[in-house]
Structure 1
Amino acid sequence: MQIANHSSQEITQMQQIKKVLSKATTNQDINQIIKSLNPQENTPELKNPQDVKSQLLLQIWQLEKNTNNQTQLVQNNTHKELIRNSLK
């Protein structure tokens, strides 16, 4: 259950970032978002913010997919283990 909750939190964070990135239309918007994601670093201006935006959205989509798959795998394994233990 903890894994599902943690995964849900991660996915929610990814969806929030995806939503903000999707709304960014200008290079200035994208640069501002990138800077806000890592405020401790002195982020240089991006040469091609639209490409970076596309790459980030793709990576977020892949992370969401991987997180969902891992969560499902853990839940399936936990379910199998519970069944095995109940049959002993």
Structure 2
Amino acid sequence: TFDRVLMNLPMIAADFLPVADQITKPGGTIHLYALQEEEGEYRERIGSVLPGCTINERFLRSYSAGRWHAVYDIKKGQAGTNFVP
């Protein structure tokens, strides 16, 4: 398992959140890069895979008209894996 996982393919990274959860240590951080059209677009999806995690969202740059590149820094809880199949 890892302390930090980088998910830097913004078009498909969110599809692999369950895998990232399984390989990230309790208390570890997952960096999820995403292309989005509105602020917080991935928060609900992240919360459903990693309940109890802490999420910090940052705008990185404009990608195209109405879309931007963002990163979600997801801090896992200390109590072990959050994965719910």
TM range (shorter): under 0.3
Is the radius of gyration larger for structure 1 or structure 2?
Answer: 1
If each structure's helix is expressed as a fraction of its own residues, which one has the higher value?
A: 1
Q: How high is the TM-score relative to the length of structure 2?
A: 0.25
If each structure's strand is expressed as a fraction of its own residues, which one has the higher value?
A: 2
Q: How high is the TM-score relative to the length of structure 1?
A: 0.24
